[in-house]
Amino acid sequence: MIEKARESWTSRLGFILAAAGSAVGLGNIWRFPYVAGMNGGSAFIVVYFFIALVVGLSIMVAEFTLGRYTKLSAVGAFKSISKRWTFAGFLGFLTAFIIMGFYPVVGGWTLAYAFKSVTGLLRNAETLRDAFGKFITSPVEPIFWLALFLAFNVIIVARGISKGIELANKILMPSLLLLLLAIGLRSWTLPGASGGLEFLFKPDFSKINGNVLLAALGQAFFSLSLGMGCMITYGSYLKKEENIPASAFVVTAMDTLIAILAGLVIFPAVFAFGVEPATGPGLVFIVVPQVFAKLGVFGPLFSLLFFLALFVAALTSSISLLEVAAAYFIDQKGWNRKKAVLVSSAIMFFMSILSSLSLGVLSGFTILGVGFFDLFDLLSDKVFLTVGGLLVAIFVTWVVKKENIHMEVTNNGTVKFPFALWYNLVKYVIPVLIGIITVTGIISAHQPAVMVLGILIVILAAIFSHKL
Ligand code: PFF
């Protein structure tokens, strides 16, 4: 390991905004509303709240603690305590690439749609579905946008923690809130908007079943950036005097509130115009522009603001994913930051091109029946993140000494925190809960072969990570 002065966040606010920036992303604005829409609306939201607060918040505290305790990113954090556990960190490093194998594709779409909003996209509401299909299957246009999206990432992450990631989040996160509120104001004042509120807030508990639970768990991990060493890495730049439990609470609350806010922005408008809410991943790129197209002269402006917000949210998340990959090369291989960022992003660019093409010209090329885009999406969400979360929970409570964790999480006993409750939750309850939900998920999955492939990759990573 190479000993160098470690970079750190310059302020508590900077750290919280960066961690919240990582958490708040496409997962909140693009994914949450349609996953909620497809899983019973408000019933899903109640379950999601519970899981985010009990499982998500607890794992986030565990990740921040492990990162700050070891002062190392994903791989090093595990390896420095137990060589045998290197694989758990390595899995996180792999997951960063897998998520960045499709995330920049959607990030590129947000940029393209921001641009298209003011160049005639909304002229004809009837053709929006076809226009989206045509755009994402084209072999060139989406690749231009994803390259541009990745370029923003490279510039920010290459500038480092305080001057790059922290500064970008300090500007971008408040902008995101303002943008969402501006669109929200328009959405809530539409006649008929209350149908959307009812859809979001009137729970029907009969809709809660195993699938809803699994969807909520996967969504919570993805949305809170957990289970892949991202929050371990961000925690490793955290100063000793910061309050970990309070920071984790604020980040979890912000992430959950913005997901709800996104739902509050989208559904009232969707209901006001009588559009079907449960329309899957196209919700944001097809249905939302359809709604804006009906807004008249201000439609393009609101559409531009909306896709800019989505772009900002995506960017503050993808920089954290790029950071996880780059930090491995910096911490473990002693590379300089520029080289680490360029090499990581070049691999991500290549994978994203494959993903993008898999929706069009490469659609005939599938692995176990799914194209690259869906493969990366499925593997990360349904397998790697939940397995990663399980491993962190086990590692922090069964492998690391209890006293060390206690000292780290409470700043040597000075921070008020229900330690015993949290510790027992993470040690006993959460692993069992994740285990049950993941196994039922794999059994009832639509693509069981992909799940098995994921598990195989986990095993291979465990075998080969000894060489790292
Ligand atoms: N939390 C991000 C989102 O909701 O879009 C996605 C993400 C970022 C997942 C970072 C995992 C991660 F480590």
According to the model, what pLDDT value does residue 449 have? 79
Q: Which residue has the tokens 């002269």?
A: 297
Distance CA 440, CA 461 (A): 23
- Going from the Cα of 30 to the center of ligand 1, the distance in angstroms, rounded, reads 12
Which ligand 1 atom minimizes the distance to the CA of 30?
Answer: 5
Phi and psi, residue 361, nearest 5°: -60, -30
Is residue 208 exposed (0-12), middle (13-18) or buried (19+ Cβ within 10 Å)?
A: middle
Buried b (16+ CB within 10 A) or exposed e, 178-196: ebbebbbebbbebeebeeb
Q: How far apart are the first and last CA of the chain?
A: 11
> Given this model, what pLDDT does residue 381 score?
78
Furthest CA-CA distance within the chain: 63
Among the listed residues 203, 221, 228, 179, the one whose alpha carbon sits nearest the alpha carbon of residue 32: 221
State in Å: Cα 320 to ligand 1 middle.
8
At residue 412, the 3 state secondary structure works out as coil
Residues 6+ apart with CB under 8 A from 15: 9, 166, 234, 237, 238, 242, 247
Structure tokens at 399: 């492998």
Residues present in the chain in total: 468
**Phi, psi (5° rounding) for residue 273?**
-100, 10
Task: Check if 221 has its Cβ closer than 6 Å to any atom of ligand 1.
Answer: no
Confidence of residue 116 (pLDDT cuts 50, 70, 90): very high
Nearest-CA residue for ligand 1 atom 13 is 225
Residue with the smallest CA separation from ligand 1 atom 11 is 225
Q: Are 210 and 39 in contact (CB under 8 A)?
A: no
pLDDT tens string 293-309: 888 888 899 899 999 99
The tens digit of pLDDT for each residue in 255-295 reads 999 998 888 888 887 788 777 765 667 788 988 888 888 88
What CA–CA distances, in Å, run from 420 to 67, 75, 214, 247?
A: 20, 27, 27, 19
User: In whole angstroms, what is the distance from residue 287 CA to residue 125 CA?
Assistant: 9
User: What is the rounded distance in angstroms from the CA atom of residue 85 to the CA atom of residue 261?
Assistant: 39
Q: Please name which of 377, 420, 425 lies closest in space to residue 402, comparing C-alpha atoms.
A: 420
Nearest atom within ligand 1 for CA of residue 255: 4
Both tokens of 431, joined, read 């692993």
Give the span between the Cα atoms of 220 and 420, in whole angstroms.
Answer: 24
Ligand 1 binding pocket includes 220 (Cβ within 6 Å): no
Query: What letter represents residue 218's amino acid?
Result: G
* pTM for this entry: 0.93
Highest mean pLDDT pick, 255-269, 322-336, 370-384: 322-336
pLDDT tens, position by position, 193-250 = 788 888 777 777 787 777 788 788 889 999 999 999 999 999 999 999 999 999 999 9
* 36 CB within 6 A, ligand 1: no
Q: Is ligand 1 within 6 A of the CB of residue 26? A: yes
Compute the distance between CA of residue 183 and CA of residue 302 in angstroms, rounded to an integer: 6
Pocket lining: 19 vs ligand 1, CB cutoff 6 Å: no
Could you tell me if the CB of 20 is within 6 A of ligand 1?
A: no
| 110 CB within 6 A, ligand 1 | no
* Phi, psi (degrees; rounded to nearest 5) at 367: -115, 120
Amino acid at 121: L
Which of 321, 380, 382, 383 gets mutated to test ligand 1 (max ligand atoms within 8 A of its CB)?
321
Ligand 1, atom 7: nearest CA belongs to which residue?
Answer: 225
Domain topology for 12-467: Amino acid/polyamine transporter I (1.20.1740)
> Is any ligand 1 atom within 6 A of the Cβ of residue 228?
yes
Where along the chain do its domains lie?
12-467
Find the 8 Cα to ligand 1 centroid distance in Å.
Answer: 21
Confidence band (pLDDT; 50, 70, 90) for 52? very high
Nearby residues of 339 by Cβ (< 8 Å), 6 or more positions away = 329
